[in-house]
Structure 1
Amino acid sequence: MTTQQSHTQTPGREVVIGVVADPVATPLQVAQQLEQELPGLLAEQLPDRQWRVEVHRERLPPSDMQHFEIMNLATEHKRQRGWDFAVCVTDLPLAIDRQPVVADASSSRNVAVVSLPAFGAMALRRRVLGVVAQLIVDLRGETTPEEGSEEHRRSRLDALGGAFRRATPDQDGIDLRILASRGRLRLLIGMVRDNRPWRLVSGLRGALVGAFAFSAFYLINATLWELAITMAVWQLVAVVLASITVMLTWLIVYHHLWERVRNLPAYQREQAVLFNASTVITLAIGLTCGYLGLFVLNLIAALIVFTPEVFSQYAGPEYGLGEHLLVALLTTAAATVAGAIGSGFESEESVHEAAYSHRERARREALRRSREAKEDDETLDETTREG
Structure 2
Amino acid sequence: MTTQESPTQGPGTVVVGVVADPVASPVQVARQLEQELPGLLSEQLADRQWRVEVHRERLPPSDMQRFEMMNVAADYKRQRGWDFAVCITDLPLVTDRQPVVADASSSRNVAVVSLPAFGAMALRRRVLGVVAQLIEDLRGETTPEEGSEEHRRSRVAALGGAFRRTTPDQDGIDLRILATRGRLRLLVGMVRDNQPWRLVSGLRGALVGAFAFSAFYLINATLWELAITMAVWQLVAVVFASITVMLTWLIVYHHLWERARNLPAREREQAVLFNASTVLTLAIGLACGYVGLYVLNLIAALIVFTPEVFSQYVGAEYGLGEYLLVALLATSAATVAGAIGSGFESEESVHEAAYSYRERARREAIRRSREAEENDERLDETMREG
Q: Identify unmatched segments of 5+ residues in structure 2.
A: 1-5
Matched, 1:213 2:203: no
Deviations 1:135-174 (A, max 9, x none): 0000011111122211012111111111001000011110
Assess, with a 3 A threshold, how the Cα gap between structure 1 residues 279 and 65 changes in structure 2: closer, same or farther: farther
Aligned to 2:84: 85
Q: Which has the higher contact order (CA 8 A, sep 6+)?
A: 1
Q: Contact between 1:64 and 1:70, CA under 8 Å: does it hold in 2?
A: no
Deviations 1:308-330 (A, max 9, x none): 11111121111101111110000
Aligned to 1:19: 18
Q: Contact between 2:197 and 2:284, CA under 8 Å: does it hold in 1?
A: yes
TM-score calculated relative to the size of structure 1: 0.97
User: What are the residue-to-residue correspondences of 1:268-283 with 2, within 5 Å?
Assistant: 268-283=267-282
Matched, 1:317 2:316: yes
Aligned to 1:9: 9
Matched, 1:259 2:248: no
CA distance in 2, matches of 1:200, 1:65: 31
Assess, with a 3 A threshold, how the Cα gap between structure 1 residues 19 and 276 changes in structure 2: closer, same or farther: same
- SS, match of residue 345 in structure 1: coil
Equivalences, count: 381
CA distance in 2, matches of 1:63, 1:168: 20
Any runs of at least 4 consecutive aligned residues in structure 1 with deviations exceeding 2 A, and if so which? 62-67
Deviations 1:5-49 (A, max 9, x none): x95310x21111110001110101101110110010000110001
The structural deviation recorded for 1:353 is: 0.6
CA distance in 2, matches of 1:258, 1:66: 26
Aligned to 1:3: none
Q: Which amino acid aligns with 1:9?
A: Q
RMSD: 1.0
Q: Contact between 2:202 and 2:352, CA under 8 Å: does it hold in 1?
A: yes
CA distance in 2, matches of 1:147, 1:316: 73
Aligned to 2:245: 246
- SS, match of residue 348 in structure 2: helix
Aligned to 2:363: 364
- SS, match of residue 318 in structure 1: coil
Q: Contact between 2:61 and 2:68, CA under 8 Å: does it hold in 1?
A: no
The structural deviation recorded for 1:352 is: 0.6
Q: Percent identity?
A: 88
Q: Contact between 2:62 and 2:68, CA under 8 Å: does it hold in 1?
A: no
User: What are the residue-to-residue correspondences of 1:1-387 with 2, within 5 Å?
Assistant: 7-10=7-10, 12-66=11-65, 68-387=67-386
- SS, match of residue 99 in structure 2: strand
TM-score calculated relative to the size of structure 2: 0.97
The structural deviation recorded for 1:195 is: 0.2
CA distance in 2, matches of 1:77, 1:89: 14
Q: Contact between 2:179 and 2:185, CA under 8 Å: does it hold in 1?
A: yes
Q: Contact between 1:105 and 1:174, CA under 8 Å: does it hold in 2?
A: yes
Q: Which amino acid aligns with 2:20?
A: A
Structure 1, 310-319 or 197-206: larger mean CA deviation:
310-319
Q: Identify unmatched segments of 5+ residues in structure 1.
A: 1-5
Q: Which amino acid aligns with 2:200?
A: V
CA distance in 2, matches of 1:302, 1:240: 18
Deviations 1:45-69 (A, max 9, x none): 1000111110011111135454511
Structure 1, 142-151 or 279-288: larger mean CA deviation:
142-151
Q: Contact between 2:7 and 2:14, CA under 8 Å: does it hold in 1?
A: no
Assess, with a 3 A threshold, how the Cα gap between structure 1 residues 123 and 67 changes in structure 2: closer, same or farther: farther
- SS, match of residue 294 in structure 1: helix
- SS, match of residue 19 in structure 2: strand
The structural deviation recorded for 1:263 is: 1.1
The structural deviation recorded for 1:224 is: 0.5
